[in-house]
Chain A
Amino acid sequence: KQEVTQIPAALSVPEGENLVLNCSFTDSAIYNLQWFRQDPGKGLTSLLLIQSSQREQTSGRLNASLDKSSGRSTLYIAASQPGDSATYLCAVNQAGTALIFGKGTTLSVSS
Chain B
Amino acid sequence: DAGVIQSPRHEVTEMGQEVTLRCKPISGHDYLFWYRQTMMRGLELLIYFNNNVPIDDSGMPEDRFSAKMPNASFSTLKIQPSEPRDSAVYFCASSLRGQTEKLFFGSGTQLSVL
Which residue numbers of A lie inside 8 Å of B, CB to CB?
31-32, 34, 41-46, 49, 89, 91, 93, 98-99, 101-104
Contacts and interface: CB of A to CB of B under 8 A. Distances in A.
Interface of B: 4, 42-43, 45, 48, 56, 59, 91, 93, 99-108, 110
- Closest 8 A/B residue pairs (Cβ): A43-B105, A98-B45, A101-B43, A103-B42, A44-B105, A46-B102, A43-B107, A99-B99
Contacts of B101: 49
Given A41-B107, A98-B56, A98-B59, A34 B48 contact: no
Contacts of B100: 31-32, 93
Contacts of B99: 93, 98-99
A98 B93 CA distance: 13
B35 to A, nearest CB: 9
A93 B100 CA distance: 7
Contact of A98 (B4, B42, B48, B102): B48
A43 B108 contact: yes
A42 B107 CA distance: 5
Contacts of A34: 102-103
Nearest to B45: A98
A46 B104 contact: yes
A107 to B, nearest CB: 17
A35 to B, nearest CB: 11
A42, A44, A93, A101 pick with most chain B CB within 10 angstroms: A44
Contacts of A46: 102-104
Contacts of B107: 41-43
A49 B107 CA distance: 21
Contacts of A42: 107-108
